[in-house]
Each structure stands twice: as C-alpha cells, then as structure tokens.
Amino acid sequence: MCTQNLRDYSTKLLSFLLTSWFSNVAVPQSISAREGFTVVLPCEFKVISLQRLYVGWRTDQKVVFMRLGNDSFQGEGYEGRVDVPEDEMRKGNCSLVLKNVSASDAGIYRSYLKRFTQSVELSVDETPEIPSVTGEAGMNSPHPLEIVLSLLAFLLYSFMPVAGD
C-alpha cells in the first residue's frame, strides 16, 4: 500500500513539474500588418516598480527600441517609427508601437524586461492599391557598439534586485 502511494505521488509530482516547465516556454504570437500602416506588438507585465524599468525590443539582426526610465533609443531604420509609450508602461503595457510598417519589418521581435522575455512574430502584407519602390535589399549587421550596449543593459538590469525580493 505504501509503495503504491509513493508511486502515485511521484507520478503526480513529475506531471506537475513537467506541466509547470512547459507552461513557461514562450511561443511567439503571430501578428499581421499591412505596409504603410501602424501595428502594435503586444507585451504585458505585472507592474512592480517603474523606477529604473528597462524594456528592450529587438529582432535577430538588430536593436529596435530600448527604454530605461525616461531615456529611450530607436534602432537604425526604426527612427521616428517605434515607441513604447511611458504612460502605457505605468499600466503594465510594454507593447511596441511600430508606424509605417514596411516589408523589411517582417520577422520575430523579442521584448526584454527585467525578468521577462516574450516573442512576437510580425508578418507584413503588401498593400496592393499603392505600389511602392523600396531601396537596396540586403541585410545589415548590427553595429558592434549596439550589441555591446544592449548586452550590458540587459545584464545590468537582469541582476538588479527587485523591491520586495
């Protein structure tokens, strides 16, 4: 009888641990937008403290947007087109607003917060009624300084204690 109870307990514990682990694996959400329009890439968090709150958005190739408190940075090619409004962050909304979407914006975007990462996949549909001419096609690798600063900011704020910890 005791062996059966131990076996049942072990099975339930293993099931609980596996369920908990897999429920924390983030699968990118898919969002679609039309060229020339504005899209909001969703991101939410539980408001703990906005003091020195860091939020960053990037693709595999480059930094899109970073905000640390009142200071913000818009990545190359995204200048004047991206924002995470500070007033929305106060409500726990770290969604990226991307204006004037172009085909080159398609891809997986990742948001980084102090202890949280979320992915969103953006696909861009052509706007058939307005033909457009795009510039040179090609991939730009991120500037080494962008990589170093992004990594440094992420590491600094990943290991800072949160009030109440």
Answer whether residue 150 shows pLDDT above 60: yes
Shortest CA distance to 114 belongs to which of 153, 83, 146? 153
30 and 121 in contact (C-beta within 8 Å)? yes
Q: Which of 165, 145, 156, 151 is nearest to 52 (CA)?
A: 156
Which residue has better confidence, 55 or 138? 55
Q: What is the mean pLDDT of residues 121-147?
A: 62
Q: Which amino acid is at 84?
A: V
Burial class (CB in 10 A: 0-12, 13-18, 19+), 121: middle
pLDDT tens track for 75-112: 999 999 999 988 888 788 889 999 999 999 999 999 88
Beta bridge partners of 93: 44
What pLDDT score does 18 carry? Answer: 40
- DSSP per-residue string spanning 69-111: TTEEEE-TT-TTTEE--HHHHTTTB-PEEE-S--GGG-EEEEE
Q: How much is the average pLDDT of 57-69?
A: 89
What was the pLDDT predicted at 97?
96
Name the residue with higher pLDDT: 138 or 29: 29
Was domain 26-128+141-158 assigned CATH 3.40.50.300? no
Judge whether residue 74 has pLDDT over 90: yes
What is the torsional sign of CA 18, 20, 21, 25?
Answer: positive
Tens of pLDDT, residue by residue over 7-60, are 554 454 444 434 333 333 456 688 999 999 999 999 988 766 656 678 899 998
